[in-house]
Amino acid sequence: MSFQVFGIPVSRGVAIGRAVLVASSRVDVEHYFIDPAGIDAEIRRALRARDEVAREFEALKQDLPGDAPHELAALLDVHLMLLHDEALLGATRQWIVERHYNAEWALSAQLEVLARQFDEMEDDYLRERKADLEQVVERILSALAAQQGRKGGGAAAVVQRDFAGEDPLLLVAADIAPADMMQFKRSVFHGFITDIGGKTSHTAIVARSMDIPAVVGTREASRLIRQDDWVIIDGDAGAVIVNPSPIVLEEYRFRQRQSELERARLARLRHTPAVTLDGERVELHANIELPADALAAVEAGATGVGLFRSEFLFMNRGGELPSEEEQFEAYKAAVEAMRGMPVTIRTVDVGADKPLDRLSASELRHEHVLNPAMGLRAIRWSLAEPSMFRQQLRAIYRASAFGKLRLLIPMVAHLNEIRQIQEAIKRVQQQLTDAGQAYTPVELGVMIEIPAAAVMLPLLLRHVDFVSIGTNDLIQYTLAIDRADESVAHLYDPWHPAVLQLIASSIAQARAAGKSVSVCGEMAGDAAFTDLLLAMGLRNFSMHPSQIPSVKQRILRADSSRLAMALPAVLASEDPEKAAELVLVSAQRTHH
């Protein structure tokens, strides 16, 4: 039966494929295809892990004391029975044979099928056995991970393989943590569907960076969609169509082809300079998460990296922080890949929607903070961990010897924070000088993402070389909205008059002070805002590489001087929709 689920469209385009359901707690299970020649070996891996867990259960039964409750032995018997049930391992074998899934992925896929069956049982006792099944599967996954020489089921590199006849796959989950999302970059999945999240939740941001369709905030998708269902993701309308009719399927396949043709047409602009009709040159920089992303930035025609999110070097590491040498090599690789173009590295921005799997002593005291978005995060965390912060600064300064580097500090709200940062920089410079290690001058910038920073910008500008406006958090904090909470996601409004006023005044003040200013939040990569930001005087945009072509096309068709004349009317508008309409009307006038 065909049905639709609606959510928030966060990454445009159409994706068609089979659903892969993954529980949030198991997203970090390895997902990759195996070669046909390796199928038998993969089945043996699964059976070895099953037998190992069976031996553990048998040993536990043998070691039970004589006065142990009878229920304990009965529970172990239930687990043994589930372990040997053909519905678990037999069906897991089928996923391996027919779909070429690796053992961990196959086991997780079958668990989702069985869990749904348990949920639909009328008998309370039988329904509650789902928890036993999950415990059994977690033990098998741990045994499989141990075979690979790891503790637990940590994420590994995702391998992309193409097999004739394989259907495209779409990931369906209640939620996906930022660290887990990173392993799906260049992965086997062609689209994402989540129950929770908003336009600027990290799942949405990574989906856009991968240039694949995604719908978030669907609330019920992971419960309604079944493993292996045929699904269409309409990333433009925020619709998910499950088991579509042949007519609907053909319509969306046609839209897919049209989208691919448009993408190819825009790609031809790659080497065209971004210059407005009235001769204003605009820098289009890229946001990247990992050094390898710099290559995609160059391919897309970026003229620099406006935001290197260094926190992703700190994630999926089992609690270990990256060493100074490891960070240095990563920053150096990004700088060298950009071939002399500037690279702006943001210091580690963890907390809120990007927690580390390591808690420091200072974080332990804040473990039960009710609102992590306003807690110990970003520069606050770095200043609370001075040795970690200095280590990152040393790595950045050492990499500066290999190209043009800029240092960007997130979530600054106090002048005292700037002074502490400058002191840390002086100390690091002295350490490098004493050690005879080369470095070059590095410009210091701050992110404007807290309203307080926007209001006190004239004071901040006296102490920094440049500013970068992070619109995602600026909107969140200005409107007091958790951007990852789908229940208030509809109130997250980039067109809100207060937001527009803060952005416009920040750009104007930075330009008046002779300091460079960029926008690196999601607004920069949304072509719907290009004319507005040009009107405000912005000449440096930073976005995901995949968004550069569409924004460049908008710039090439714009007359910035005429847009600027329309700006006062836009900022005076009472309603965001009216503001958008005015901007579009003014832009249309310049195109004729």
Torsion of CA 188, 189, 190, 195, to 10 degrees: 180
Characterize the bridge pairing of strands 214-216 and 283-288.
unpaired
Residues for the chain: how many in total?
A: 592
68 backbone φψ class: left, alpha, beta (φ>0; ψ -120 to 50): beta
- CA 509: distance to chain centroid? 31
Token pair for residue 151?
């503790």
Query: Do 451 and 470 form a contact (C-beta atoms < 8 A)?
Result: no
Choice among 31, 202, 285, 496 that is catalytic: 202
As a whole number of angstroms, the distance between CA 457 and CA 335 comes to 29
Question: Residue 543: helix, strand or coil by DSSP?
Answer: strand
Choice among 31, 100, 190, 520 that is catalytic: 520
Query: Do 238 and 232 form a contact (C-beta atoms < 8 A)?
Result: no
Query: Do 397 and 439 form a contact (C-beta atoms < 8 A)?
Result: yes
Percent helix, strand, coil in the chain, to 5, is: 50, 15, 35
Token pair for residue 140?
């098998």
Query: Do 473 and 449 form a contact (C-beta atoms < 8 A)?
Result: yes
Residue given tokens 């580690």 in the structure block: 348
Question: Residues 508, 514, 517, CA angle at the centre, nearest 5°?
Answer: 55
Query: Do 222 and 27 form a contact (C-beta atoms < 8 A)?
Result: no
Alpha helices in 244-286 (DSSP H): 246-267
- H or E element at residue 269: none
| Of 318, 359, 319, 320, nearest in space to 152 by CA | 318
592 is catalytic: no
| Of 445, 495, 496, nearest in space to 285 by CA | 445
As a whole number of angstroms, the distance between CA 294 and CA 337 comes to 6
The answer for residues whose C-beta is within 8 angstroms of residue 539's C-beta and 6 or more apart is 280, 281, 282, 283
Query: Do 525 and 207 form a contact (C-beta atoms < 8 A)?
Result: no
Q: Is 252 exposed, middle or buried (0-12, 13-18, 19+ CB in 10 A)?
A: middle
Q: DSSP string of 431-464? A: HHHHTT------EEEEEE-SHHHHHTHHHHHTT-
Question: Residue 27: helix, strand or coil by DSSP?
Answer: coil
Residue given tokens 């006062």 in the structure block: 568
| Of 217, 222, 239, nearest in space to 15 by CA | 239
79 is catalytic: no
* Residue type present at position 166: E
Q: DSSP string of 148-169? A: TT-SSS----------TTPPPE
Query: Do 235 and 15 form a contact (C-beta atoms < 8 A)?
Result: yes
Active site residues: 202, 520
